[in-house]
């Protein structure tokens, strides 16, 4: 029988201090050239080991290969100018200097395919590879070419599909397809446009997941979250997701202002229940995690529930993140024993 309540994380983990400045988003690398390449591989090995030792079932590379979740992907594409930036308001919450789309966007070469292959080589566990969603990319750029959020999102969706299929293929070569559980994680903010759901239909055949969250625990995002709290506000997005071919939906449920009964609307989908709050240094107890999972189990059956983190843990201290990984696995074990 398949193990119930398999644990996983949203994606990122903190980087070692010798690789990048700790507790900083977008931290510059502290190594260069060959030393950087070697350092990244070592950091991936450690990130995988931390997850395996904690008891996490489906592991990621902790996004140790990327300086920034979105930008590192965009840097690999044609059509995006990183030299001449423009200041834009990000999701009406804060200002940022962003790259500019100056021509048709295109994928020059594989972006995370080698990293996915390396990750598989480090572990026998199922692996998950994360990619930024089309709308997340649209929201972090100034578009001087398409002049249409929808057209630009579709161009990104096609690029992501190419990349996801190439990542999936790294599993076919090493393992039988059924064992190779690449999951495509399309990240974006709380609002979901029709482009995302349409893109999901053209996705690879491995398990695909969409992560919906409210950003890292920076003040602008935390303040904005206080305005959430009504199922009605996100019901349309959830129903769009339910009709898509995306297999898993990842939501923040620990200390979330979004009511837990929302996950009951995700009929037929696996639900990655965020039971770890990444916006606080306080390490949850296994019992805290178990309480979140038990409340989720009132709305989704155990066969479709995957205990997860609310979001990435890159801004946290490493010992805090390790503690949270252990709490997640231990909390899931408590609930599994009751099932
Ligand atoms: Zn997130």
CA of 176 to the centre of ligand 1 (A): 30
Ion ligand 1: residues, CB < 5 A: 213, 311
CA of 129 to the centre of ligand 1 (A): 14
Q: What confidence tens digit (pLDDT) does each residue in 109-121 have?
A: 999 999 999 999 9
CB 195 within 8 A of CB 158: no
pLDDT at 158 over 90: yes
CA of 104 to the centre of ligand 1 (A): 28
CA of 169 to the centre of ligand 1 (A): 26
Confidence of residue 274 (pLDDT cuts 50, 70, 90): very high
**CA-based nearest residue to 23, from 337, 319, 325:** 319
CA of 187 to the centre of ligand 1 (A): 7
Q: What is the pLDDT of residue 190?
A: 32
Confidence of residue 221 (pLDDT cuts 50, 70, 90): low
Q: What is the pLDDT of residue 90?
A: 75
Domains and CATH numbers, the chain: 33-67+111-133+156-338 (3.20.20.210)
Q: Identify the H or E element spanning 160.
A: helix 149-174
Residues 2-24 have a mean pLDDT of 95
Q: What is the DSSP letter of 131?
A: E
d(CA 337, CA 339): 6
pLDDT averaged over every residue in the chain: 86
CB 336 within 8 A of CB 301: no
d(CA 290, CA 64): 29
CA of 1 to the centre of ligand 1 (A): 31
Q: What is the pLDDT of residue 183?
A: 40
d(CA 103, CA 210): 28
Q: What is the pLDDT of residue 186?
A: 41
pLDDT at 239 over 90: no
């Amino acid at each position: 029988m398949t193990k119930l309540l398999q644990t996983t994380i949203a994606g990122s983990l903190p980087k070692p201090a010798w690789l990048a400045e700790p507790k900083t988003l977008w931290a510059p690398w502290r190594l260069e050239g060959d030393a950087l390449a070697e350092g990244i591989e070592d950091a991936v090995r450690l990130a995988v080991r931390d997850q395996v030792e904690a008891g996490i079932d489906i592991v990621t590379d902790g996004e140790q290969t990327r300086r920034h979740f979105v930008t590192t992907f965009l840097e690999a594409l044609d059509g995006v100018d990183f030299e001449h930036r423009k200041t834009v308001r990000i999701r009406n919450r804060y200002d940022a200097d962003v790259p500019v789309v100056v021509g048709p966007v295109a994928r020059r070469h594989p972006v995370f395919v080698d990293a996915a292959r390396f990750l598989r080589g480090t572990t026998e566990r199922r692996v998950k590879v994360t990619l930024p969603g089309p709308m997340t990319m649209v929201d972090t750029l100034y578009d001087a070419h398409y002049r249409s959020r929808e057209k630009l999102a579709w161009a990104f969706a096609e690029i992501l599909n190419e990349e996801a299929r190439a990542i999936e293929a790294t599993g076919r070569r090493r393992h039988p397809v059924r064992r190779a559980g690449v999951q495509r994680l399309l990240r974006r903010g709380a609002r979901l446009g029709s482009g995302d759901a349409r893109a999901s239909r053209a996705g690879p055949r491995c398990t695909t997941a969409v992560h919906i969250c409210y950003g890292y625990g920076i003040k602008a995002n935390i303040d904005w979250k206080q305005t959430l709290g009504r199922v009605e506000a996100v019901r349309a997005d959830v129903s769009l997701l339910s009709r898509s071919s995306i297999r898993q939906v990842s939501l923040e449920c620990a200390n979330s202002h979004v009511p837990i009964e929302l996950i009951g609307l995700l009929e037929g989908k696996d639900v990655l229940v965020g039971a770890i709050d990444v916006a606080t240094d306080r390490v949850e107890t296994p019992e805290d995690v178990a309480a979140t999972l038990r409340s989720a189990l009132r709305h989704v059956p155990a066969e479709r529930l995957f205990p997860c983190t609310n979001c990435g843990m890159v801004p946290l201290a490493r010992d805090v993140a390790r503690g949270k990984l252990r709490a997640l696995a231990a909390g899931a074990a408590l609930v599994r024993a009751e099932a």
